[in-house]
Amino acid sequence: MTDQNNNQISKRDFLATLGMIGGSAAVMTALSGFEHSLASDAKAPPMLHTHGNGKSVVILGAGMAGLVTALELSKKGYNCTILEARDYAGGRNSCSRKGTKVTHATGETHTCDFDNGQYLNHGAWRIPGQHHSTLHYARSLDVPLEVMLNHSSQSYLYADNIEGPLNNQRVRRIHVESDRKGHVAELLAKCAAGGALDEMLEKEDVEKLLTYLKGMGLINAETFEYQANSIRGFSSYKGGGDNYGTLSEPYALNDLLNMNMAGRELTSDHPTCMFQAVGGMDQIAFALRDALPHGVLNLNKEVTRIRHSGSGVTVNYKDTKTGAAAQAKADFCVSTIPYAVVTGIENNFNDDIIDAMKTPAPSQVAKFGLQMKTRFWETEDMIYGGTSTTSMAGNIAYPSADLHGKDGGVLLASYLFGGRSNNFSKMNINEKIEYALATGEHIHPGNYRENFNGKAAGIIWQDEKYNKSGWSSWQGDSIKKLPVILKGENRMLFAGDCISPRLSGWLAGAIEGAWLTIAELDKRAAQI
Amino acid sequence: MGHKMTDNSYDLSKRDFLQAIGMIGGSAAMYTAMTGLNMAQASSLEEPPELSSEGKGKKLLLLGAGLSGLAIALEMQKKGYKCEIIEARDHEGGRCQSARKGKVIQELGGEKQVCNFEHGQYLNIGPWRIPAEHKAVIHYCRELDVELQPMINESGYGIFYNQGIEGALKGKRLRQVDVAIDREGNIEELLAKAVNDGSLDDKLSAEDKEGLLEYLATTGLLDRKELFYRANRARTYENYPGTGLDAGKMSEPYEISELLKVKLGMRAQTADHPAVMFQAKGGMDQIPFTMSKALKRGTIKYNREVTNIIHSEDNVKVTYKDLKSGREKTLTADYCITTIPFSVLNGIDNNFSPELKDAMKSASSSPAYKIGLQFDRRFWEEDDMIYGGESRSDIPDHYTTSYPSADLYGKNGGVVLSNYKFGGGSVQLSNNTVAERIEHALMIGEKLHPGNYRKHFNGNAISMSWHKDKYSLGGASSYRSNRLRRKHIPTVLKGEKRMLFSGGGISPYHSAWMTGAIEGAWATIADLDKRVAQT
């Protein structure tokens, strides 16, 4: 894929990837004839029937999928070896905290200087309650989780490209949400009362609908006009004594309709409250690492060549510290290396596999955090967690940990996709900081620059040598090529979130992908 | 004390109760008509008022060590007032209580309950949630380092259970998100059709029609081209997507005519009941405990029940009975602020003016009931993916069941607020024996979580009827109508001479909220400050 194409993944595609747009199930169900899949909603690793009896497995990559594969196969007596190019375990499940080094596309190696205790989940950052597989390891390995606030009704939307008075204004999400519901309720109530729905609904249902519309608490029960209400909230809050406060005035319909952002944000897998690991998401990876038998994990080993045959696999690698070359031989190999990377390593995979690996679109994703001296978004704006969204420069996500803390906190100040993240990639560190500050100053004027303490860090995933993308996006019919990868070849299997198109970029995708792969390896091992 | 409540105090209308908890909004005009009244506090107070006077050892007697009494003592001690709090209970906090192992609850005419929850488990039997806009509460938590944690007030996976409707959804466990999304989706579809068939041509410009259709196409609920409502990713899934080729299976929306029969959860959460609120870590009573520790040693005198209040131009004399020794004693102070709930204060001998007595008697005291059960497994999380939030039903005398927000994923089970009920039904519930109360809670729970609720109940329960609590006689005090509010609140706010009235009862717009008690306290000390400056 050319850079040109990489830059032009449409907004819709990214939204779809993020679960922001519903409804592409039809495509997926059309494919349900395929054989390779685990039961949905998997809660625990598959039962393996074989015992390893010392059979050897070399696992490429110590991300979540590699760690899970090694942990489960080790339990069954397989002799596992993980080769990991980086100097830490976790892959994209990693954090920026004091001392984290990231080499940017500009050539700068930036060392994170956040204060002690401060961190940014610059990779995986949220777990929905329905991802039982992720919760399985957090629970079984005693990784404390805490609430990750994915949505704050007080956070802001900011558009700089719309008509009308809301352009270049920060507007509270709750105001937009309530006003949309309120205006819709008003219009529909008027239709219902005026007989316009009589052809669509039973008479009795029209009445019930009207009762419901009035019951929402947004419209006047007699005139059906949408009006100020206690759901939208107050412009001046009520208080002690006889102070009732003042309800805020809704936006006019035509102004509101110009605000074309955030049509839907909450989906089944992006609810208001999600979860995160206390102290950083990488604690889950570290717990998996620490549960492995001694010697399984080998860091700083960059794979240079993969040859598989009917009887085994040979992997050549280079020690990135010493430069020394070495070779690992095993009965089986599970590669969890991202497609964009593994296809650049010398291998003897068949053409169909290579073709399939080049099918999903690699996503471009940047995450960049700024440390702030005070939590002004909480004290002044009543924003606790959640995200403010701009039309021009991505999202700002507020920390869910240490709410009300007195030591400030790290904001995910720039969460950028696609071409925007590629432009960000080209900036030097100071320019990146300036870009993030300029964005935030729109949302929190007077506070953002003022409270920035000079400490920043982040990552651009497409620039990472060992990732080359945020995740793989299997779009449309491309998923038809996935079975080739799921099948693997001889003693060579593939895992990682890239084999989980519907959970791509999620921890659950990596974990359940690993579970699927070890179930497959179990079958093959039974045949030898 | 012969303060048997009249039946009148029980029959607050539903509307008043809804209003009391902020569920009815909208009639701003009515309220703005009232702004002529004086003594209004600045809105959304973030800090206590600046006081200009110095106490210089003036003696201030406070009746009641609830949140307002504590806040007043904290602020006035800073200004050099000599404060003493007379408290009838053996603990501070007033209604801000948590039940944990060893807690004794003795309702008037009721059985003695001793809480037997396992260590670390608790139930907030009084206030249980703080919205971010209640900055007065957050002020003390921040200043005194009371750790707050998210209180998850709403979970899409929480259940609506309707037994009193007819049709396909009767007796079914409906996920709240499915009902909410189906309501939205159907409304959007109907509106899209109405726009397209010209029904709104007289109300909307062509541009607005187009804008509306564009918006309706981006909510993710409608087919983007045809704009009909269909299965979508905002609803729960029948089978969740998995790895490989497992796309999962989305759930099918409910039929609109069945959906419209469901009456639960019609109203969206109000601004002061957002999806995420706060609670004090380890129990809401950590707030008064911490406030109490910040007072000068010995400020609070416990187990002292006030029996008589006589005030004059020069001082206030308060007589109390020491509940340990049975002895009576009279204290004299330069000023006295009572935070005793009006329902209780009405039964204490006093020389308040008839107008004041009338104002206090005109306030209604609302009945409120809470029962918590301890479970040995968090089945609502493990089996139902409900993390915090609540379930509701139309089962008689059930309002809400709320799941704990602390210790999510904990392996030691947890305490579920199995029923919180205020208004009418709570009185009937409180007339039950403890065993009947538990059985009623289990009956509700078994419908919400069949097969799990009884099975995992570990036998430990606690319940509280605030209207039967001797020193509260109600969950909250409020005026039944705006007419009564307009008539009486100014009288109460004014107090008389050296006697002032505070507590949640003087904050009718924050009735039953902690912020009502604290902002009430702040209003009172600002007034006291003025009076002292004039003497």
- Report CA A505 to chain centroid distance, whole Å: 6
Q: What's chain B's average pLDDT?
A: 90
Task: Identify the pLDDT of residue A14.
Answer: 37
Are A52 and A78 a contacting pair, CB within 8 Å? yes
Contact: A40, B230; criterion CB under 8 Å? no
Pick from B148, B248, B405: CB nearest A404: B148
For residue A21, give the chain B residue with the closest CA. B220
A196 contact residues in B (CB cutoff 8 A)? 194, 197, 199-200
CA proximity to B131, closest of A237, A494, A371 = A237
Average pLDDT over every residue of A350-356: 97
A500 contact residues in B (CB cutoff 8 A)? 242-244
Mutate to test the interface with A, among B15, B139, B243 (most CBs of A within 10 A): B243
Give the Cβ contact number of residue A279 at 10 Å.
Answer: 16
Average pLDDT over every residue of A11-30: 35
pLDDT in tens, A373-421: 999 999 999 999 999 999 999 999 999 999 999 899 999 999 999 999 9
Is residue B464 predicted with pLDDT exceeding 50?
A: yes
Are B129 and B390 a contacting pair, CB within 8 Å? no
Contact: A273, B155; criterion CB under 8 Å? yes
Task: Identify the pLDDT of residue B482.
Answer: 87
Contact: B220, A479; criterion CB under 8 Å? no
Pick from B138, B152, B220: CB nearest A147: B152
The secondary structure element, H or E, covering residue B257 is: helix B256-259
Q: How does residue B268 score in pLDDT terms, banded at 50, 70 and 90?
A: confident
SS3 A270: strand
Task: Identify the pLDDT of residue B9.
Answer: 35
Phi, psi for residue A428 in degrees, rounded to 5: -80, 175
Average pLDDT over every residue of A444-450: 97
Core vs surface per residue A332-358: b (16+ CB within 10 A) or e: bbbbbbbbbbbbebebebeeebeebbe
Is residue A30 predicted with pLDDT exceeding 50?
A: no
| Cα–Cα distance for residue pair B280/B276, rounded to 1 Å | 13
B231 contact residues in A (CB cutoff 8 A)? 23, 25
Is residue A29 predicted with pLDDT exceeding 50?
A: no
Structure tokens at B236: 């729960």
Give the Cβ contact number of residue A299 at 10 Å.
Answer: 17
Structure tokens at B207: 């541009």
Contact: A238, B233; criterion CB under 8 Å? no
Reported ipTM: the value is: 0.90
Task: Identify the pLDDT of residue A240.
Answer: 80
| Cα–Cα distance for residue pair A182/A218, rounded to 1 Å | 5
Task: Identify the pLDDT of residue B7.
Answer: 34
Contact: B211, A258; criterion CB under 8 Å? yes
The secondary structure element, H or E, covering residue B534 is: helix B514-534
Average pLDDT over every residue of A79-83: 98
B236–chain A Cβ distance below 8 A for any pair: yes
pLDDT in tens, B477-526: 888 888 999 999 999 999 998 999 999 999 988 888 999 999 999 999 99
pLDDT in tens, A224-282: 999 999 999 998 888 888 788 899 999 999 999 999 988 888 888 999 999 999 999 99
Distance from CA of A454 to the nearest CA of B (A): 26
Give the Cβ contact number of residue A144 at 10 Å.
Answer: 11
- Burial level of B226, CB count in 10 A (0-12/13-18/19+)? exposed
Mutate to test the interface with B, among A177, A230, A258 (most CBs of B within 10 A): A230
Torsion of CA A125, A127, A132, A136, to 10 degrees: 50
In the block, residue with structure tokens 């909603």:
A41
B275 contact residues in A (CB cutoff 8 A)? 151, 153, 272-273
- CA distances (Å), A438 to each of A112, A120, A292, A447, in order? 21, 20, 45, 12
Distance from CA of B36 to the nearest CA of A (A): 10
Is residue A456 predicted with pLDDT exceeding 50?
A: yes
A25 contact residues in B (CB cutoff 8 A)? 231, 233, 247-250
Average pLDDT over every residue of B98-109: 97
Contact residues, B window 310-349, toward A, CB-based 8 Å cutoff: none
Contact: B241, A502; criterion CB under 8 Å? yes
Q: How does residue B44 score in pLDDT terms, banded at 50, 70 and 90?
A: low
Are B195 and B213 a contacting pair, CB within 8 Å? yes
Contact: A217, B218; criterion CB under 8 Å? no
Pick from A42, A135, A272: CB nearest B275: A272
Contact: B245, A220; criterion CB under 8 Å? no
B441–chain A Cβ distance below 8 A for any pair: no
Task: Identify the pLDDT of residue B216.
Answer: 96
Contact: B31, A244; criterion CB under 8 Å? yes
Task: Identify the pLDDT of residue A255.
Answer: 94
Q: How does residue B32 score in pLDDT terms, banded at 50, 70 and 90?
A: very low
Is residue A284 predicted with pLDDT exceeding 50?
A: yes
In the block, residue with structure tokens 């902002």:
B519
In the block, residue with structure tokens 């039904």:
B425
Q: Is the pTM of this model over 0.80?
A: yes
For residue B30, give the chain A residue with the closest CA. A244
Average pLDDT over every residue of A346-353: 97
For residue A40, give the chain B residue with the closest CA. B242
Contact residues, B window 361-400, toward A, CB-based 8 Å cutoff: 381, 385, 387-388
Is residue B18 predicted with pLDDT exceeding 90?
A: no
Contacts of A138 (CB under 8 A, 6+ apart): A127, A145, A275, A277, A284, A287, B409
Pick from B34, B218, B266: CB nearest A242: B34
Q: Is the dihedral of CA B155, B161, B165, B166 positive or negative?
A: positive
Size of interface A-B (CB pairs under 8 A): 360
Are A327 and A315 a contacting pair, CB within 8 Å? yes
Is residue B252 predicted with pLDDT exceeding 90?
A: yes
Distance from CA of A101 to the nearest CA of B (A): 32
| Cα–Cα distance for residue pair A21/A13, rounded to 1 Å | 9
Give the Cβ contact number of residue A118 at 10 Å.
Answer: 25
B159–chain A Cβ distance below 8 A for any pair: no
B244–chain A Cβ distance below 8 A for any pair: yes
Average pLDDT over every residue of B455-459: 98
Contact: B385, A130; criterion CB under 8 Å? yes
Distance from CA of A320 to the nearest CA of B (A): 33
Are A36 and A486 a contacting pair, CB within 8 Å? yes
| Cα–Cα distance for residue pair A134/A268, rounded to 1 Å | 16
Contact residues, B window 402-421, toward A, CB-based 8 Å cutoff: 405, 408-409, 411
DSSP B262: -
Task: Identify the pLDDT of residue A27.
Answer: 32
For residue B520, give the chain A residue with the closest CA. A240
B165–chain A Cβ distance below 8 A for any pair: no
Average pLDDT over every residue of A487-506: 95
Mutate to test the interface with B, among A139, A243, A266 (most CBs of B within 10 A): A243
Is residue A32 predicted with pLDDT exceeding 80?
A: no
B269–chain A Cβ distance below 8 A for any pair: yes
Are A472 and A489 a contacting pair, CB within 8 Å? no
Distance from CA of A430 to the nearest CA of B (A): 34
Average pLDDT over every residue of B291-312: 98
Pick from A188, A238, A273: CB nearest B388: A273
| Cα–Cα distance for residue pair B292/B72, rounded to 1 Å | 11
Pick from B41, B152, B183: CB nearest A240: B41
Contact residues, B window 124-153, toward A, CB-based 8 Å cutoff: 132-133, 138, 141-142, 148-150, 152
Q: What's chain A's average pLDDT?
A: 91
| Cβ contacts of B320-324, under 8 Å, gap ≥ 24 | B320/B86, B323/B88
Contact: B408, A233; criterion CB under 8 Å? no
- Burial level of B412, CB count in 10 A (0-12/13-18/19+)? middle
| Cα–Cα distance for residue pair A505/A363, rounded to 1 Å | 10
- Which H, E and C letters describe B300-360, residue by residue? EECCEEEEEEEECCCCEEEEEEECCCCCEEEEEECEEEECCCHHHHCCCEECCCHHHHHHH
Task: Identify the pLDDT of residue B480.
Answer: 83
Pick from B212, B236, B245: CB nearest A268: B236
B509–chain A Cβ distance below 8 A for any pair: yes
Q: How does residue B14 score in pLDDT terms, banded at 50, 70 and 90?
A: very low
Contact: A264, B156; criterion CB under 8 Å? no
Contacts of A407 (CB under 8 A, 6+ apart): A115, A117, A118
A336: left (phi over 0), alpha (psi -120 to 50) or beta: alpha
pLDDT in tens, B72-101: 999 999 999 999 999 999 999 999 999 999
In the block, residue with structure tokens 């005291």:
B365
Average pLDDT over every residue of A509-518: 97
Task: Identify the pLDDT of residue A264.
Answer: 86
Are B307 and B322 a contacting pair, CB within 8 Å? no
A32 contact residues in B (CB cutoff 8 A)? 245, 247
B534–chain A Cβ distance below 8 A for any pair: no
Contact: B199, A385; criterion CB under 8 Å? no
| Cα–Cα distance for residue pair B103/B113, rounded to 1 Å | 8
Is residue B440 predicted with pLDDT exceeding 90?
A: yes
Give the Cβ contact number of residue A87 at 10 Å.
Answer: 10
Q: DSSP readout, A320-366?
A: TTT--EEEEEESEEEE-S-HHHHTTSEE---HHHHHHHTSSEEP-EE
More reliable by pLDDT, A244 or B475:
B475
Distance from CA of A81 to the nearest CA of B (A): 24
Q: How does residue A41 score in pLDDT terms, banded at 50, 70 and 90?
A: low
Is residue A313 predicted with pLDDT exceeding 80?
A: yes
For residue B523, give the chain A residue with the closest CA. A240
